[in-house]
Amino acid sequence: AQSVTQPDIHITVSEGASLELRCNYSYGATPYLFWYVQSPGQGLQLLLKYFSGDTLVQGIKGFEAEFKRSQSSFNLRKPSVHWSDAAEYFCAVGALTGGGNKLTFGTGTQLKVEL
Amino acid sequence: DGGITQSPKYLFRKEGQNVTLSCEQNLNHDAMYWYRQDPGQGLRLIYYSQIVNDFQKGDIAEGYSVSREKKESFPLTVTSAQKNPTAFYLCASKGQGVRTEAFFGQGTRLTVV
C-alpha cells in the first residue's frame, strides 16, 4: 500500500526567505505525486503534479518540486516566500488499486510566515 | 462554472443521530472521494467511488455509509455508529486514470453537540 510522510509538522520562515517542504513517499510502482495547499476552513488547491518526464516540475504561485526516485522524495520549494503563502501544505501520491484510483495524503505541514 | 459543491458548510448533530453530507460535481468526473480531516492527521480516506453504483471502503470507513446513484452525486452519511464524528469533511472528484488531479469542495464542518 502507498503512503506519504511529511516529517515537518510546522515550519516558520521569514518573508522573502527560501522555503523547502519535505515529502517522502512509499509506493512499489511509478508514483503519481501532487502538492496541494489549504487555507483555513477551505478546500484544497492543487499547486503542482508529477506524472513522468522532467523531474523538476513548476506549479502555480512560484512553487516548484523535484522528484528524486533514489530518495523517494518529492520536496516542494519556493525561492522567496510571501506572507500570503502561510497555509497548510499536503503532499499526496496517486495509485491504481483493485478498487480504482486511490489518492493518499500526508499529514500536512503548517507554514507560518514571519513579517 | 464547473466545480464541486458541498453542503452544508456547517452541520450540527446530536449524539445518536445520522446525518448526510451532500457532494455534487459538474465536472463529469468518474471518480469521487470522501476524506475526513482532523488536526495533525492530514486527510484520511473514508470511501471512494470509480463508477455509478460502485464504491470502495477507504482507510476509516467504519461508522460511515455512501451511495453513488448518479455520476454527479456522492452523499456521505455519518451514522450513530461513528464514535467521534466531529471533524472537517472534504469531498473530491477526479477524472479517469491516475494521471489526473483531484478537485476538492470547500468542505463541511460537522460538530456533535
The CA distance from B93 to the nearest CA of chain A, in Å, is: 11
Is there a contact between A95 and B98 if contact means CB atoms under 8 Å apart? Answer: yes
Q: Which residues of B touch A46 (CB under 8 A)?
A: 101-103
Q: Which residues of A touch B45 (CB under 8 A)?
A: 102-104
Which of A68, A93, A89 has its CA nearest to residue A4? A93
Chain B, nearest residue to A42 by Cα: B106
For residues A8 and A108, the answer to whether their CB atoms sit within 8 Å is no
- pLDDT reported for residue A2: 85
User: What secondary structure letter does DSSP report for B60?
Assistant: S
CA pair distance A15, A86, nearest whole angstrom? 10
Q: What is the DSSP string of chain A?
A: --EEE---SEEEEETTS-EEE--EEE-SS--EEEEEEE-TTS-EEEEEEE-SS-SEEE-GGG-EEEEEGGGTEEEEEESS--GGG-EEEEEEEEEEETTEEEEEE---EEEEEE-
- A100: pLDDT strictly greater than 90: no
CA-based R_g, chain A, Å? 14
Is there a contact between A90 and B42 if contact means CB atoms under 8 Å apart? Answer: yes
Q: Which residues of B touch A94 (CB under 8 A)?
A: 98
Q: Digits of tens for pLDDT over chain B (113 positions)? A: 679 999 999 999 998 899 999 999 999 999 999 999 998 889 999 999 999 999 999 999 999 999 999 999 999 999 998 989 999 999 999 988 778 889 999 999 999 98
Give the mean pLDDT of chain A: 93
Is there a contact between A107 and B42 if contact means CB atoms under 8 Å apart? Answer: yes
